[in-house]
Amino acid sequence: MRDFYAASDRMPLDQADGLRRLFAGRRDHLLALAANPHVAFSASVLDRLAAVLAAQGREVLVVDAAGTSPPPHELAGVDLAACVEPIAPRVSYLAARGLPLAWVDTRGGAGGFIDAVQRAAPQAEVILLHADGPELARLLKHRAARPLLIGADHPDSIKLAYANAKLLVRRCGLMTFDLLLAAPPQSPRLAAIVASLAGCAESFLGALLRHSAVVDPAGDAAAPADAPLQQLLTAQFALDDAPLPTHGYGLPSAPAALRRPVPGPASAAFSPAHS
C-alpha cells in the first residue's frame, strides 16, 4: 500500500472504491486540533503527531483546514480523493482551507466533511484534523471528541487556547480537552501554564483539561513518543466516538459555570479568563 502511494500522487476513482471496500467496517480515529495562529510552530506539532502515529504502524491523513493552511486543490470540489497527497511513509496530506464550509447543513454543522474525507481516504486509520476554533465547532457538532488545544510558552497563545475551549464548550457541549505545548521542554513556565489553563477551564467553563504534552519544535519529529505524549494518545484512542446525544438537534444546555460569574483564579500569570 505504501509503495502504491509512493508511485502515484493521484488515486483514480475505481481504485478509491476498491480501497473503500477493502477497509469497510474499520473504525477510524479522529484527532481534532484547535488551530492557534499565535503558535509559530503549529506545523511542528502536526509533523510530530503524524510521525509518532506512523511509527506505530498507523496510516495517517493530515487534514489541514486552518486559516493558515495552503489553499485546497482546484479539484477539491469535484474529486476529494484526487487531492490527497502522500508526503511520507504512512502519512498523507489534504490541504483543506475553507473546504468544510461546503458541507455546512441547515443546523450549522459540517460533520459531512469528515464523512467525505473518510470516503476519499479509506486507508487512513487516523484523521488528524487541524482547524480554527469556529470551523472545528461546526465539524464536531453532534460528534463525541476530546479536542486537542495547541499553545506555546507565551500568554497570547494560551489565551487563544482558552478561547477555543470556551467556543467548543458553548457550541458543542464538549467538556474535556487535551493540551499540546510547542515549546522547549526545559522552559520553566510550562507547569504554570498547564496549571493556569486547567484552572481557568474548570472554574469558568466547568471543563476538564485531561492530559498535556510538550512538542519540542527543535526536536526530532520521528523520535519515539515520550511518556506524556504516549499517555495522551493512548487516552485519545480509548475514547468512545459515538455521536453525542442531543435534544432535537439543539445544543446541550450550557453548564452552570457559563451562566453565572465566577471569581477569577488566584494565579493570573497566564490567565485567559477575560479574553
Beta bridge partners of residue 128, listed in sequence order: 31, 62
Q: What's the number of CA atoms in the CB half-sphere (13 Å) around residue 69?
A: 23
Strands 91-95 and 85-88: antiparallel
Give the three-state DSSP class for 31. Answer: strand
Whether 176 and 187 have beta carbons less than 8 Å apart is answered as no
- For the chain, the domains span 9-242
Per the CB < 8 A criterion, the answer to whether 145 and 136 are in contact is no
CATH code reported for the domain at 9-242:
3.40.50.300
pLDDT digits (tens, 9 = 90+) for 24-81: 444 689 999 999 999 999 999 999 999 999 999 999 999 999 999 999 999 998 999 9
Q: What is the pLDDT of residues 161-220, one digit of tens each?
A: 999 999 999 999 999 999 999 999 999 999 999 999 999 999 999 999 999 999 999 999
CA distance 100 to 139: 7
248-267 as b/e, with b when 16 or more CB fall inside 10 Å? eeeebeeeebeeeeeeebee
Q: What is the pLDDT of residues 222-251, one digit of tens each?
A: 999 999 999 999 999 998 544 444 433 333
Minimal CA–CA distance to 155: which of 131, 136, 135, 183?
183
Q: Quote the strand ranges of 27-165, DSSP E.
A: 29-34, 60-64, 85-88, 91-95, 126-131, 148-151
- 3-state per-residue secondary structure call for 159-205: HHHHHHHHHHHHHHCCCEEEEEEECCCCCCCHHHHHHHHHHHHHHHH
d(CA 39, CA 16): 36
